[in-house]
Amino acid sequence: MKPVESVEPPKGTKQPPRSAPGPGRPLAHLNPVRARVKFLEGGKISASDVRAPILDSWQRSLFWGVDADRIEAPYNADFDPHSRLATAAAPVLDRLSDALQGTPMCLILTDSKGRVRERRTGDRALHRHLDDICLAPGFSYAEEYVGTNGIGTAAEDGRTAHVFGSEHFSERLQRVSCAAAPIRNPSSGRLIGLIDLTSWQHTASPLMMALVREAAADIEERMLEIGSERERAAFRAFLTSRQSSRRALLTLTDGLLLADAAATELLGPDDHRRLRELAADPAGLPEQRLLLSDGRTVQVRGRQVEGDAPDGGPAAFLIELRLIAEREESAPRTATAPVPRLAGIAGSSPTFQGVVRRLIRNCEQRRWTLLDGEAGTGKFALVRAVHRHAAPTTAFAVHDGADVRKGAADWLRAVFRDLAEDRGTVVLRHLDLLPAQVLRQLDGVLRSTAGRSGWVAALRTRDRPALPAAGDDTAAGQPAAVRTRFDSEVTVPPLRHRTADIPALVTCLLARRGADAQCTDAALRALSRAPWPGNVHQLECSLRYAETHRSGPQIEATDLPPSLLCQAQHPLSPWESTERDLVVQALLDHGGDKARAAKSLGISRATIYRKITAYGIRLGPESG
C-alpha cells in the first residue's frame, strides 16, 4: 500500500505548500477511528481507510497480542546517566526544553528498545496524563508492549514516525499525538535511541516532525564528536596489538567492532553478545575460557583501552582469543597452585577457580567476606563447600535475612550469640533483604564482635539494590558502615560468563540428584547456548525437568524445557509462555514437521512460522 502524500486544508483557508502529512492532522479523506474499529473486528482495511505505516503497525500490534484497552508497559529503571547517548543528548534536550517551556509539549529520550530514559514536560496537565499512561522514565514504549505509537513505530520502521491521536492502537493513547525520530550511531549506523515529542491531540503541530529530525541530527553530530576520539584510540590499540599478538584479536566500543580474520572466523552473533557482556562487567575481563556457540572453546584475555572520552569511560575493550584444541581441553591442568576440588561444586574456568581460591584463603585466614552475585549463582553452596574443606571440624551457623520478618530482635540476638562464640563459621544470607533499621543494628553487632577467630561470610544478591560504598550513607537508606566491616569482597560470576563449566556442572547436578542419565552432545550444546538469567539454579531446575520428561536412557535436546529451545526477543507474558510451550510441544510431537504441527494446533502454516520466528524457537537439525 502506498501512503497518501498530502493533507487537504479546510475550505476557505490559505493553501499551504504541499508536503508530507504531519502529526497535527490525519489526512482529510482518512478515518482512522472507523478504520481501527473495523480492524479490531477483523474487517479488511485498505489504503482509503488509514495510512499504510499505521496499518502495518496495527498488524504488528495484533501479532504481539497487545491489549487495545490497557497499557502494560514493562518497567526497568536501570540506566547509565553517563552513557554516550545521555552525554550527547543532554545539551540538545536542555536547549529544546527551554524553548518548549510553558507549551503543552513533552520531550522524551529513549534507548534503542523504546525504554524512556528522560522526559521534559512543559505542561502540568500533560505531565500527569503521561504518568497515567506510563509514558515516564523506566517504562518501555516498544510496539510489542503498547502497540502503535511514535516511539515504538519509529523503532520498528527505522525512520521518523508520527502517530495522530486516533491512529494509536491502544484506546488509552488516543488523547495524545507524537512524533519520534531514530538516533543512530554515526560510525556503525546502529540504532541507539529515539527522541520524541508528545502533545495533546488537539494541540499537535506538523512542526513536531521537523523538530525531532533536527534534534536527532544534533545528537548524532555530538555523538560523532564524543566517539571520534574513542574510535581513534580503539583503532590505534588494535593496530598496535596486531603487530605483537599471535591470537585472534578484536576491539569493542559501544558502537563499533573491529576484528581480524581469525576472530571473524571464530565468532558468531551470539558470541559477540557474550563478549560485550564480559566487557561490560570489569570482573569478566581477566583471562578465562569461553564456550562458543558452535561448541568450540576459546581462551579469552581482555583489557580496557584508555581514551579521552568526555564521559570519562574507557575508549574500548581489546580482547584476544586463542582456540583451545580438544586434546588440550581434556589434558590435566598444570597450574603451579592447583585449586582444591570442593565436594558438590563444579567449575574449572579461570574466573570461577579464582573465586574458589580467594574464598578458601579467606576462610583459612578468617577474613570476613562479603560475597555477592546474581540470584541463583550458588553463593551459599559455595560458602558451605569452602567451610567443609577448610574448617570441617568447626560449627557452621546460618542466619537468613528473610527470617527477620518473624522478629528482628530475636534474629539479631541469635546472630550476636553465634558471633560471640568466637569459633566456627557464621553465614549471613540475603543481607540485601534486611531493612535499613535492622542493618544499622547489625552494624553494631558486627562492630562489637570484630576480631573473632572464626570466619564470617555475608551473602547478597547483586540484582537487588547494592550496599552503599563507604562514605555513601544515603543509598537505599542503608548505612555504609556495614560494608566496611568486611575485609574482602568477592563476586561469583553468572553462569553465562562461564559456559565452559556447563558440562561439568551438568554431571555434578545430575549426580546430586542420583540420576543415572547423561546429556547427549546436542543437549549440552542447547544448554550452552541458553542465556541463563536464573544461573545455576535455573540449570538445576531445567535438568530436573528433562530427567523426568526423557523417554530414553539419555537426556536429549528435545527433553529440555521449551523455554531453553527458544530465544524470544522480549520478556514473555504468562499467556505468551503458554503459547510458546504449545508450539514447541507440537513441533516435538511431529518430529519438527511444521505443517503437521500447525494442523494439530488448528492454525495455518504461515501462523506457526510467525510464532517460531517471534519466539526464536530452535529445535536443532535432529528434530527436522
482 vs 412, 442, 454, 491, 533, CA distance in Å? 14, 8, 18, 17, 28
Q: Taking residues 364-390, report their average pLDDT.
A: 91
List, for residues 270-317, the tens digit of each pLDDT value: 677 778 777 766 555 667 777 776 667 888 888 777 765 554 556 677
d(CA 394, CA 422): 11
User: Which has more confidence, 190 or 10?
Assistant: 190
Quick one: pLDDT at residue 476?
Answer: 40
Q: Taking residues 441-470, report their average pLDDT.
A: 77
Q: What φ, ψ does residue 622 adopt, rounded to 5°?
A: -70, -15
Quick one: pLDDT at residue 14?
Answer: 39
Please write down the long-range contacts of 406-412, taking CB distance under 8 Å and 24 or more positions apart: 408/435, 408/437, 408/438, 408/441, 411/438, 412/438, 412/441, 412/442, 412/445
Beta pairing class for 554-555 and 518-519: parallel
List, for residues 509-558, the tens digit of each pLDDT value: 988 888 778 898 888 888 887 778 788 988 988 898 888 888 888 898 88
Question: If we measure between CA atoms, which residue out of 332, 394, 330, 391 comes closest to residue 360?
Answer: 391
466 vs 47, 370, 428, 430, CA distance in Å? 54, 12, 15, 11
Ranking 256-265, 367-376, 495-504 by mean pLDDT, the lowest is 256-265
d(CA 478, CA 448): 19
List, for residues 337-369, the tens digit of each pLDDT value: 577 888 889 888 877 888 898 899 999 999 999
Evaluate whether 410 touches 382 at the Cβ level (below 8 Å): no
Ranking 46-60, 473-487, 491-505 by mean pLDDT, the lowest is 473-487
Element (H, E) at 2: none
List, for residues 249-269, the tens digit of each pLDDT value: 888 776 677 788 888 878 876
Quick one: pLDDT at residue 43?
Answer: 81
Q: How confident is the model at residue 412 (pLDDT cuts 50, 70, 90)?
A: very high
d(CA 483, CA 370): 8
Quick one: pLDDT at residue 95?
Answer: 92
d(CA 519, CA 322): 27
In single-letter form, the type of residue at position 251 comes to T
Q: Taking residues 141-148, report their average pLDDT.
A: 92
Quick one: pLDDT at residue 532?
Answer: 81
493 vs 252, 317, 345, 427, 537, CA distance in Å? 21, 19, 14, 20, 13
Structure letter (DSSP) for residue 281: S
Evaluate whether 398 touches 457 at the Cβ level (below 8 Å): no
Quick one: pLDDT at residue 466?
Answer: 42
Evaluate whether 321 touches 266 at the Cβ level (below 8 Å): yes
Helix axes 594-601 and 605-615, enclosed angle (nearest 10): 100
C-alpha cell at 348: 574449572
Quick one: pLDDT at residue 591?
Answer: 73
C-alpha cell at 259: 576484528
Quick one: pLDDT at residue 163?
Answer: 95
Evaluate whether 467 touches 440 at the Cβ level (below 8 Å): no
Quick one: pLDDT at residue 333?
Answer: 45
Helices (H), 501-604: 502-512, 521-529, 535-549, 574-589, 594-601
Quick one: pLDDT at residue 456?
Answer: 93
User: Which has more confidence, 223 or 139?
Assistant: 139
Evaluate whether 457 touches 425 at the Cβ level (below 8 Å): yes
**At residue 161, does pLDDT exceed 50?**
yes
Question: If we measure between CA atoms, which residue out of 579, 570, 574, 573 comes closest to residue 601?
Answer: 579
Strands (E), 112-265: 116-121, 161-163, 176-184, 191-200, 248-252, 257-259
Q: What is the dihedral of CA 147, 153, 156, 161, to 10 degrees?
A: 170
